[in-house]
Amino acid sequence: MQNSILAIVVALLWLVLPLFVFYKFDVRLLAMTVRSLGKYTGGLLVLGALLWLVWLVGSWWLSLAWLLGVVVVAAFMIVKKARVEAARWCWPLAGSMLAALLLVGGTLVWALPDGRWCLPFMAVLLAQMVPSLVSGLHVYTSSMRHTELHREYLLGNGATRFESLVPSLRRAVRAALLPWLHRWSVVSLLTLPLVLSGLLMGGMTPVDACVLTLVLAVASLSASVLALSLTLWLVERK
Amino acid sequence: MLELNNISLPTDYGIVLTRLSLVALDGRITCISGRAKRTVLRAMMGFVDVLEGVISIDGEPLTKKSATALRQLMNYMPRRLEPAGTCPVYEPPTADDVARLKANRLGRKKQIVLVDEPPSEMLQRLQQMAAEGLTVIVSTDDEGLLHAAHEVVRLQN
């Protein structure tokens, strides 16, 4: 903790530099920075307090309740970002994300050596799923809007309902996969993955950190595809 | 054989088409002309809810439940495929996509051909399909096609 306080003091000292620059050139930026940093700190304090509580109690039901709350909030955020109809998409999305997290994350957490990694592992999985689901849902709904004539063409030639949806489903899965391909293609010494950096800072050996980062990446991809497929199935089943 | 028995339909123009009856027979070209011709064609595939009356295919009524199975007896050629609104990447379904449909892989003969506003150069192909014993239903205002059809239904405003 002593180290942390020293780090906070050093960081605050370094903060003086950008604040001084903003003060000199753009006072509005100074106000915005102070406001945003205040909000960020407040949010982190609340989050930290809640996490501490969950950590201290250490019971599975509290962890599950925490996960459930976070998933619902994430689902609302995804629906808003993807600009899709909340009433139709939010609950299937939340249910699918929870199922994907429990299935993919649960099996991997079971295989991990330390049970305390459960919450951070799930949190990372969830955070990694968000961009994929946003682009997948956005592309799917926009494809459905644009391709009514296409679906009639396929249906008129004997397609089942599922077959008529396949082109839009294909586009959605492709769009959900693209953030992953992009992320995986830019890993280099200059852009160390955040998860890897976090694990290294947490004291893990570089080899273990790399292995766990890879496990997390694969698990996140699987969870994203599973959550997207489940969501589309729940919304489109008739 | 495809039969429309005293049907009423809502159209895209906000009017209701009423008391329409027709029988499209195997081996013949039936043309539908007039403002709501495409709506009638879509109703034959079960895409438009019929307000009253019955559409049947070989005696089997076309309902929401039976539509998927009955559409497997059809070939549909739309006038054109285009996206609704602006679309960043346009990927229309191809003939391969249609060929890969389960209904087409089964190799079952498709008895009914629905063609939406074909070009007049397609007349020979339509006649050939009718000669093969297929039920050919065409929505068109092309006088050449209307003249060559075995039956013509003119929808009145």
Q: What is the pLDDT of residue B33?
A: 92
How many independent structural domains does chain A possess? 2
> Domain check: are A36 and A69 in the same one?
no
Within this chain, do residues A16 and A74 fall inside the same structural domain, yes or no?
Answer: no
Q: Are residues A19 and A31 in the same domain?
A: yes
DSSP per residue, A52-92: HHHHHH--HHHHHHHHHHHHHHHHHHHHHHHT--HHHHHHH
Residue B32 has a pLDDT of 93
Within 10 angstroms of residue B125's Cβ, the number of other Cβ atoms is: 14
Three-state SS for B136?
strand
Residue B96 confidence (pLDDT): 83
pLDDT tens digits for chain A (238 residues)? Answer: 556 788 888 888 999 999 999 888 888 888 899 999 999 999 999 988 988 888 788 777 887 888 899 899 999 999 999 999 989 999 999 999 999 999 998 888 888 776 667 777 888 889 889 999 999 999 999 999 888 888 899 999 989 889 999 889 999 999 998 888 887 777 666 666 777 888 888 788 888 888 888 888 889 899 999 999 999 999 988 6
**ipTM tops the 0.85 cut:** yes
Together in a domain, A77 and A147: yes
Residue in A148, A158, A167 closest to B72 by CB = A158
pLDDT computed for residue A2 by the predictor: 56
Residues A112 and A200 in one domain: yes
Question: How many contacts, defined by CB atoms under 8 Å, are there between A and B?
Answer: 75
Give the span between the Cα atoms of A70 and B36, in whole angstroms: 52
- Cα dist from A110 to A24, A50, A122, A221, whole Å: 54, 24, 12, 18
Residue contact A157–B68, C-beta within 8 A: no
Residue (of B14, B121, B85) closest to A149 by Cα position: B85
Q: Are residues A85 and A192 in the same domain?
A: yes
- Judged on CB neighbours under 10 Å (0-12, 13-18, 19+), A91 is middle
Q: Same structural domain for residues A25 and A126?
A: no
End-to-end CA distance of chain A: 56
In order of their start, the domains of chain B are: 2-79+93-154 (3.40.50.300)
Per the listing, tokens 């060559």 go with: B148
- Which residue in the block uniquely carries the two structure tokens 């191809």? B94
- Report the gap between the CA of B123 and the closest CA in chain A (Å): 21
Q: Do B71 and A153 touch (CB under 8 A)?
A: no
Q: Which of B38, B40, B68 to mutate to test the interface with A (most CBs of A within 10 A)?
A: B68
- The reported pLDDT for the residue numbered A187 is 66
One domain for residues A64 and A142: yes
3-state DSSP assignment of residue A134: helix
Q: Write down which residue in A57, A80, A101 finishes a domain.
A: A57
Residue A187 distance to chain B (closest CA, Å) = 28
Q: What is the pLDDT of residue A97?
A: 95
State the residue for tokens 């997207």: A228
In Å, how far is A204's CA from the nearest CA of chain B? 45
Same domain, A16 and A117: no
pLDDT at res. B91? 78
How far is B11 from B4, CA to CA, in rounded Å?
16
Tokens 């396929």: give the residue. A154
- Residue A207 shares a structural domain with residue A190: yes
Single out the residue in A29, A57, A85 at which a domain terminates.
Answer: A57
B82 has a chain A CB within 8 A of its CB: yes
Residue B98, pLDDT > 70, answer yes
Residues of chain B with pLDDT > 70, as a percent, come to 99
Residue partners of A129: CB distance under 8 A and separation at least 6 = A74, A97, A100, A220, A223, A224, A227
Amino acid B82: pLDDT: 76
Q: Read off the tokens for B121.
A: 């150069």
Q: Is A238 on the interface with B (CB under 8 A)?
A: no
- Specify the amino acid at residue B36: A
Q: What distance in Å separates the CA atoms of residue B55 and residue B63, rounded to the nearest whole number?
A: 8
Query: What are the beta bridge partners of residue B74?
Result: B112
Is pLDDT above 80 for B122?
A: yes
- Whether A37 and A66 share a structural domain: no
Of A57, A84, A104, which residue sits at a domain end? A57
Check if A113 contacts B (Cβ < 8 Å): no
**Owning domain of residue A84:** 59-236
**pLDDT tens digits for B43-67?**
999 999 888 999 999 989 999 889 9
| Same domain assignment for residues A192 and A225 | yes
Of B131 and B97, more confident: B131
